[in-house]
Amino acid sequence: MKIVERIYPGFQWAEPLKGSRELEVEQVGSDLHISGLVPRYQVQDAPTDLVRHFEKTPRSRPIGQQRVGKEPPDIRFANATSDDELISFVRRFGPVVAKVVQDAPLNPELGEPGLPARLIAHQDLEELRSEQSIYRAALGLVMQLNEKKFEYDVAQQRIKTIAANISEWPRQWEREKSQRRAEPTWELSAQSLKRIQQLSSGQHDQLLPATFDARIVLCELLNSFRSMIFPNPLEMHSSIKFGIRPLLYSLLRRQFLYPRGFAVCANTQCRNFFNIEREGQQFCDEVCSLQHRQRVYWERRGKKLRRARIKAQAKAKE
């Protein structure tokens, strides 16, 4: 008989309350208050498990099935350019980087069990927007490294975005350390920060490959979130208690080392990332494809209509 040991219990910031499939999120001023239950890791493929959701996302689409190219959590976060989209992401997977995290016992008088405890986090919206900008730029660099033509100027703009936003990471590390009373499992060193900032303002060295700076920046980011193995779920959960950012960068590491194949939608009104599901795919879904074709058609057709109208107006004046 073959014995299979289940060594991966899941990665959840919290379990949903009251049988829901999502966490509770309330916006209070400039903060999001996120609530859930401390995970017991007793349910396989939990809806709030970010890593499992990434693994289960299909890379190809069966004939007749609706596209799901925008659904992987890393792409979903990178595409979350509005507050509503960011809040929706947090409601599904938890805070990205929390200011404060509290454990609160449930209230038996309200019919809530004493265990597991409630987990409450405060996520600053401005920090959330900043993290999305960093991640979108980093994912864009990964995508560029797998394209036939590397656009250095585009990569440089992405590096500038990363450098402008990660300056807060050392302060966030100190904040998390003060609450943990121990060093967090991630850290952006002063040397790494300085190197990224220098690359964001430097000029391309013609003696080096055009991709050199992008690779350095990605390595500095990914090395801030080292890969770790935990002996039990309690220690594993502790590593993401103050936010799921380490999980997001673990997915970025996978994309960097083993690219799935993704691109930016060719529809200029969209420009979202999507998983490439077939050869030659340029759009994230049928709607974007249709909108682009209509816009191109009317640009071409409009010129003819304008010329005909001008010609008719000139004749009328004769």
Here the tokens at position 33 are 């208050």
The residue range of the domain holding 105 is 24-59+66-260
116: in domain: yes
Q: List, as one string, the DSSP characters of 149-180.
A: S--HHHHHHHHHHHHHHGGGHHHHHHHHHHHH
Q: List, as one string, the DSSP characters of 179-213.
A: HHTS--S----HHHHHHHHHHHH----TTS-TTHH
Most confident of 20-24, 112-116, 259-263, 264-268: 20-24
82: in domain: yes
For position 19, what pLDDT does the model report?
73
Helical packing angle, 245-257 and 212-223, nearest 10°:
140
Instruction: Identify the CA nearest to 147 among candidates 282, 261, 274.
Output: 261
The residue-averaged pLDDT of 30-48 equals 89
193: in domain: yes
CA distance 64 to 193: 47
Which residues face 26 on adjacent strands? 33
190: in domain: yes
Instruction: Identify the CA nearest to 158 among candidates 137, 144, 131.
Output: 137
Here the tokens at position 100 are 């404060």
Q: List, as one string, the DSSP characters of 124-139.
A: EHHHHHHHHHHHHHHH
In which residue are the tokens 């999120």 written?
A: 25
Number of domains in the chain: 1
C-beta of residue 48 within 8 angstroms of C-beta of residue 36: yes
For position 9, what pLDDT does the model report?
66
Residue 302: band (very low, low, confident or very high) from pLDDT cuts 50, 70, 90: low
310: in domain: no
pLDDT at 2 over 80: no
